[in-house]
Amino acid sequence: DQQVKQNSPSLSVQEGRISILNCDYTNSMFDYFLWYKKYPAEGPTFLISISSIKDKNEDGRFTVFLNKSAKHLSLHIVPSQPGDSAVYFCAPNNDMRFGAGTRLTVKP
């Protein structure tokens, strides 16, 4: 069984600064790890993923890092914008259970 943990329930950053969201997992058997973004009263939407054979994937302001030895991922958003304020979930491609999520607030 996979267990995904997002140990920071919330994060607040100033607009323009970097946001770093973290995710830890227990089971290394996955092909991709994915990040989703969720606004209130909406379903989550896919944000960015990383292959298990990579250690970094970058897409515009979003970069995800994978540290397989530590079983740890981090999502970096830079520069952060107020519109990034949302709840962020991480999940592997082979397990539909999500971590508790991290609520990001970007202050103007």
Partner 1 sequence: GAVVSQHPSWVICKSGTSVKIECRSLDFQATTMFWYRQFPKQSLMLMATSNEGSKATYEQGVEKDKFLINHASLTLSTLTVTSAHPEDSSFYICSARDLDVTGELFFGEGSRLTVL
Cα–Cα distance measured from residue 54 to residue 72, given in angstroms and rounded to the nearest whole number: 13
| Secondary structure of residue 40 in the 3-state scheme | coil
**Min. distance of Cβ 86 from partner 1 in angstroms?**
10
**Min. distance of Cβ 77 from partner 1 in angstroms?**
18
Residue owning tokens 């995904």: 4
Nearer of residues 38 and 78 to partner 1, judged by Cβ: 38
Residue 59 as a binder of partner 1 (CB under 8 A): the answer is no
**Min. distance of Cβ 92 from partner 1 in angstroms?**
8
Residue 93 as a binder of partner 1 (CB under 8 A): the answer is yes
C-beta of residue 71 within 8 angstroms of C-beta of residue 24: yes
Nearer of residues 38 and 61 to partner 1, judged by Cβ: 38
Here the tokens at position 88 are 């962020």
Query: From the list 4, 13, 20, 34, which residue makes contact with partner 1 (rule: CB under 8 A)?
Result: 34
Query: Torsion over CA of 95, 49, 21 and 58, rounded to 10 degrees?
Result: 170
